[in-house]
A and B are shown apart, each in its own frame.
Chain A
Amino acid sequence: MSEFAFWMVAALTIISAGLVVFSGQLIYSAVALLFTLLGVAGLYVFLWADFMAGVQVMVYIGGILVLIVFGIMLTHKIVSVKISQTNVQRRIGGFAAGLFLVILISAMGSASWFMEVTPEPVETVRTIGILLMTKYLLPFEAASLLLLGALIGAAMLSRKEN
């Protein structure tokens, strides 16, 4: 049963990712991206990463996807309902991406992976918090500095010139 659910989630992810890439209208791509991100959140649940699934839903769907939809609606004329967009260089791009996929899958199939199923973590959030504050404190601070830089940069860009 859970095997079936896993493959359904995987199919949802991949089919809607295909729609994101191949759809002719930008707003359809955005809606398909919603289902891709939901499917990826479902995959995190199968990977015992419950906190990550929640973050995926809140940050990606609630933040980035809304930002993308805002971008679509603000950069085009609202009156033109059909926001079409075309693909260029389909043949070269498809060939390169397909070649990359074949190389990846053949490498994955031939590699002998170190497989060790770790026991199911009891409290992921607590462990992540402790890791962030001890082992990964320096990257954490660097990320906060980067966010501060982005904040100041956005304020500078949107400021009125005098």
Chain B
Amino acid sequence: MDQLTNYLFISAILFSLGLFGVMTRRNGIAVLMGVELILNAANINFVAFSRFGGMDLSGHIFFTFCHCLSCR
């Protein structure tokens, strides 16, 4: 659990599942769910790099903006 690559691995799987959903679903709401999975994968990456990258909490700020825009 103290490994950056673990989080990147989980997020990559989540992103691929979301991509598959966006490409194959026909219903608009189901496509939206795939987009949510992709956004969550990106957010995990932001927060993980914020913890392991040796910087301040800028990743959290990016996460906040991502949330704010994905609600639209």
A residues near B (Cβ < 8 Å) are 2-3, 6, 10, 13-14, 17-18, 20-21, 26, 29-30, 33, 36-37, 40, 43-44, 46-49, 51-52, 55, 59-60, 63-64, 68, 71-72, 75, 85-90, 92-94, 96-98, 100-101, 104-105, 108-109, 113-118, 121, 124, 127-128, 131-132, 135-136, 139, 143, 146-147, 150
Expressed in whole angstroms, the Cα–Cα distance for A147 and B6 within the complex equals 35
Q: Given A52-B63, A109-B5, A115-B4, A47 and B47 touching (CB < 8 A)?
A: yes
A71 close to B60 (CB less than 8 A): no
Q: How far is the CB of A48 from chain B (nearest CB, A)?
A: 6
What are 12 A-B contacts defined by CB distance under 8 Å? A6-B6, A17-B13, A17-B17, A18-B17, A29-B33, A33-B36, A44-B44, A47-B7, A52-B63, A85-B26, A100-B15, A115-B4
* Total CB contacts across the A-B interface at under 8 A: 177
B9 close to A105 (CB less than 8 A): yes
Q: How far is the CB of B63 from chain A (nearest CB, A)?
A: 6
Expressed in whole angstroms, the Cα–Cα distance for A143 and B13 within the complex equals 30
Inter-chain contacts of A131 with B (CB < 8 A): 56-58, 61
A114 close to B53 (CB less than 8 A): yes
